[in-house]
Structure 1
């Protein structure tokens, strides 16, 4: 007796994060792992079971995403339990102005997504490489793209606008917003826990190597810190966050930097890494005794505090603040430093609860409930794929609707 399963993929430029879920209406995680350093020496493959116990941890060499996916699919076939892979769900960072929900992969959709690559040059090429690798290796499988921009698709008109001449909006230049799969998961989790999200004004802070915040009112997003690109808003591991565009003009005109030089600077050399000169990893910076490392942490927390206060303006107040992402969920120090001095907004953190990693970390009686929650973008993808399978059953062997 075989069990139908869904594979979720989050493809990076040199990595492939994955998870296997049951193909049920409420998918259950069975396995998860990652392949790192694809195309580089010492490729690393790791697989964990549902209890997060590492069962495979091995080096190797995988030259590209096709080879990595072939290795992964071979590993799936050898897993115990007679698993029958029926569909693959992909995290795709940018869906453009037309993708307001998950979409089945078609040649037309792929062509549209390739045209969006300049809008997210750091993320779209590996996202598309993952889709192409599945099409080449297992063309029979249903593939579903799940977009980080979909959650923000219906932002209010003013929140979508830029101050450029109106004609540029016709070219897709507008504010989009990202990390939507994470925000969607947190919003659903709040509702499952009995929170009336329709009645509350909520800010979710997704803080990790990539970082952003989103403001929700009436259960819907009304504003976000990121905009047209994944560069905007908060400083991140290697990305700038908000930057005066006059600096870019100066670097091009006075320093002779090319477009490629500027792109590399903004996406790969800045943020925590650039300010600290040491690392893009927050834990490295917190444990360092170097002054630039401490300054990078200070800068991150200061900018996060500013963004948080900015979003309360769009909401007209605040009832709940939720920290998530690798930093937001796990770093009590960063949560505490961001919230410090925000008592005027009703934000008051209980130090003991914060350090203990409790879900609710605000003081009893505080006007704003402050929480730390784990996000699960992979599970959100699996849910979307399961919904597609429910409406459009697929024959595993032919890839056609049943």
Structure 2
């Protein structure tokens, strides 16, 4: 009887999932997500070779969402056992540089990182606990968004603070590592020469970051100590002068919790526009505030691409990925406009249809759809294979 792998990717208001047949290269059997966790959640299930299914769940929290996913997948498992469950965990701290099997000490360690990723880490770990209860015999594997960035040069990890802060873990961690891992794997397969060079990858979704990669290894990231730094995002501020926080505390009397809520949930595109955190909505809007929010987003994106080119000492390829990066042609073209001094330009027709290559100049510009769930499934498959070899 074939074994199955389940992947869970829990965010602040959604849970993505995948079901795979366990193999050296896992075979996807279904994927989906729960959107809008809270008062009006909706489950989307896309079985391989079958029509998409949409189900309104009503009021649903993360624990209820996991149960709804398991119920929706039950007809597809056909009595086959779930041998392993893989989890996206946003923060793995300064030392975890790859997937780990989850045990009690690891869970305790990861809970200590919740203040560093408050929108994600608590929900990541809640999904772990729900999966442990549902599949007590399954191997549970944590895959960390920070792991891809371990090994940065010291100058890209530190802040100009007294050194004791670095020693106590106050440093630049970088995030979206599962996405960057997948993209680099796809480049090694399809563009191996470029993958060995200097690559700038822009992961643009509700969260957004840019990574400088040399010979497949991260050497710089726009995100830092937390997932707030760098680019403006759907509801997160991106880079901010620390003096603004002092002003909020000293002049406006905001508490730490109020500032955290403002920076994580009320800023970014949502705060700038006063309309929406969704780039699609802003691109369709004719309001000045929407246009200004997009202007700022594109300005910061172009600025960060230039910064990563400086980190790398040049650029051999730029890659767009994530929901906005893969689908928003106007954002890609506007971000690259003005970067001709780096050899970057866009071919409008290819860009409009999100072709794999959209460049019109000497430096390739690529669109590579990401697949974090597959990276997680591969990690679980590797753990299962390792356990089987050890048992044999």
Count of residues paired in the alignment: 392
Kept in 1, the 8 Å contact 2:43–2:55? The answer is yes
Rate the CA distance shift 1:14–1:301 in 2: closer, same or farther, 3 A.
closer
Compute the TM-score of the two structures, normalised by the length of structure 2: 0.96
Query: Which residue in the other structure is 1:102 paired with?
Result: 99
Compute the TM-score of the two structures, normalised by the length of structure 1: 0.94
Query: Which residue in the other structure is 2:372 paired with?
Result: 377
Kept in 1, the 8 Å contact 2:19–2:28? The answer is yes
Deviation at 1:171, TM superposition (A): 1.6
Deviation at 1:118, TM superposition (A): 1.0
SS of 2:235's equivalent? coil
Answering whether residue 45 of structure 2 is matched by residue 47 of structure 1, we say yes
Answering whether residue 366 of structure 2 is matched by residue 367 of structure 1, we say no
Answering whether residue 162 of structure 2 is matched by residue 132 of structure 1, we say no
SS of 1:262's equivalent? helix
Rate the CA distance shift 1:198–1:362 in 2: closer, same or farther, 3 A.
closer
Rate the CA distance shift 1:293–1:173 in 2: closer, same or farther, 3 A.
same
Query: Which residue in the other structure is 2:251 paired with?
Result: 254
Q: For 2:77 and 2:23, how far apart are their aligned partners in 1? A: 19
Query: Which residue in the other structure is 1:268 paired with?
Result: 265
Query: Which residue in the other structure is 1:387 paired with?
Result: 382
Rate the CA distance shift 1:339–1:37 in 2: closer, same or farther, 3 A.
closer
Query: Which residue in the other structure is 1:25 paired with?
Result: 24
Rate the CA distance shift 1:289–1:401 in 2: closer, same or farther, 3 A.
farther
Deviates more, 1:4-13 or 1:319-328: 4-13
Kept in 2, the 8 Å contact 1:91–1:381? The answer is yes
Kept in 1, the 8 Å contact 2:3–2:83? The answer is yes
- The one of 56, 73, 78 aligned to 1:59: 56
Rate the CA distance shift 1:100–1:276 in 2: closer, same or farther, 3 A.
same
Kept in 1, the 8 Å contact 2:33–2:45? The answer is yes
Rate the CA distance shift 1:308–1:190 in 2: closer, same or farther, 3 A.
same
Deviations 1:140-168 (A, max 9, x none): 21100000000001111111111111001
Kept in 2, the 8 Å contact 1:197–1:219? The answer is no
Kept in 2, the 8 Å contact 1:8–1:378? The answer is yes
> What is the 5 A alignment of 1:166-181?
166-181=163-178
Deviates more, 1:350-359 or 1:374-383: 350-359
Q: For 1:266 and 1:347, how far apart are their aligned partners in 2? A: 33
Give ranges in structure 2 of 5+ residues lacking alignment: none
Deviations 1:91-125 (A, max 9, x none): 00000012100000000100000011111111111
Q: For 2:241 and 2:65, how far apart are their aligned partners in 1? A: 40
Kept in 2, the 8 Å contact 1:76–1:83? The answer is no
SS of 1:163's equivalent? coil
Query: Which residue in the other structure is 2:328 paired with?
Result: 331
Q: For 2:120 and 2:111, how far apart are their aligned partners in 1? A: 12
Kept in 1, the 8 Å contact 2:102–2:141? The answer is yes
> What is the 5 A alignment of 1:143-182?
143-182=140-179
Deviations 1:147-204 (A, max 9, x none): 0000001111111111111001122101010000000000010001142256411100
Kept in 2, the 8 Å contact 1:319–1:367? The answer is no
Q: For 2:295 and 2:287, how far apart are their aligned partners in 1? A: 13
Rate the CA distance shift 1:52–1:345 in 2: closer, same or farther, 3 A.
farther
Rate the CA distance shift 1:64–1:312 in 2: closer, same or farther, 3 A.
same
Query: Which residue in the other structure is 1:113 paired with?
Result: 110
